[in-house]
Amino acid sequence: FCVQCEVPEGGLVPKSLYRTAEELENEDVSLWTETIYQSASVFKGAPHEVVIEIIDAASVITWDFDVCKGDVVFHLYHSKRAPQPPRKDPLVGQHSSITAPGGNNVQLIDKSWTLGLDYSMVESPLTCKEGESVQGSHVTRWPGFYILQWRFHTMPGSASTNLPRVDDVLASLQVSSHKCKVMYYTEVIGSEDFRLVSSVCVCVCVS
């Protein structure tokens, strides 16, 4: 396997071949996006959210994600109400969908929704550090809409005032330290299939 180098041995690297940290990061993300994983950007004040509709109350939601940059907090919510599709213009409506370098940012939970009334938390928040790989599952108890959320992790004592989501994300776009990236994959499995897979894994481990 041979790679052609445009720089002569012992020579200086021309500035035209310089790569910014953002370009190198996007190249790494492009390699991931050729797989089944999806990329997402998480900003301070602007989490990334994915909705999964469950018809069979005994289904199993599984997730597998890598924290490529920054620290995030993972949440799982349930709602009987269907979140409205996000709008492309973040200045319009109650939701936003922003295309950022290296990944999308989609917000589905309406700002007017109240936790405990319009939607509920079904898994305890999980803080995930940069470089960690996380796998998990949740056995659903009710049909409806389950929302997976990755939120920017704010250190205790450094939380800012509650700015509107749009204002906060636009400000965060200018500050790399207020940006996280995750690569994720989700799947819904029937409870019978999940138990079958679990049994096979147990048998393999025991043997």
* Whole-angstrom distance, CA of residue 28 vs CA of residue 41: 14
Q: What is the predicted pLDDT for the residue at 187?
A: 94
Note the Cα 93 to chain centre separation in Å: 22
* Whole-angstrom distance, CA of residue 65 vs CA of residue 132: 8
Question: Which structural domains are found in the chain, ordered by start?
Answer: 36-85+103-154+178-189 (2.60.120.680)
Using alpha carbons, select from 104, 147, 152 the residue that is nearest to residue 130. 152
Q: What is the predicted pLDDT for the residue at 4?
A: 57
Instruction: Please write the tens of the pLDDT for every residue from 110-138.
Output: 989 999 999 999 999 999 999 999 999 99
**Confidence label for 155 from pLDDT (cuts 50, 70 and 90):** confident
> Which residues are CB-neighbours of 80 under 8 A, at least 6 positions away?
142, 144, 145
Helix ranges (H only) for the chain are 21-33, 165-172, 191-206
Query: Count of CB atoms within 10 A of residue 146's CB?
Result: 24
* Whole-angstrom distance, CA of residue 72 vs CA of residue 63: 15
Instruction: Quote the percentage of the chain above a pLDDT of 70.
Output: 56
**Confidence label for 154 from pLDDT (cuts 50, 70 and 90):** confident
Lowest mean pLDDT among 18-22, 124-128, 138-142, 184-188: 18-22
Check residues 167 and 68 and name the one with the higher pLDDT: 68
203 has a pLDDT exceeding 80: no
Q: What is the predicted pLDDT for the residue at 205?
A: 44
DSSP 3-state assignment of 27? Answer: helix
What are 46's strand-pairing partners? 43
Instruction: Please write the tens of the pLDDT for every residue from 79-119.
Output: 999 998 766 544 444 555 555 555 689 999 998 999 999 99
Asked whether 70 and 42 are in contact (CB, 8 A), the reply is yes
Check residues 163 and 191 and name the one with the higher pLDDT: 191
56 has a pLDDT exceeding 70: yes
**What count of Cα atoms within 13 Å lies in the side-chain half-sphere of residue 149?**
25
Q: What is the predicted pLDDT for the residue at 178?
A: 75
Residue showing tokens 């690297």: 13
Q: What is the predicted pLDDT for the residue at 85?
A: 73
**Confidence label for 199 from pLDDT (cuts 50, 70 and 90):** very low
Q: What is the predicted pLDDT for the residue at 200?
A: 44
10 has a pLDDT exceeding 70: no
159 has a pLDDT exceeding 50: no
Which two structure tokens, joined as six digits, stand for 155? Answer: 């250190």
**Confidence label for 58 from pLDDT (cuts 50, 70 and 90):** confident
Order the strands of the 120-128 sheet from edge to edge. Answer: 48-54, 144-152, 72-79, 120-128
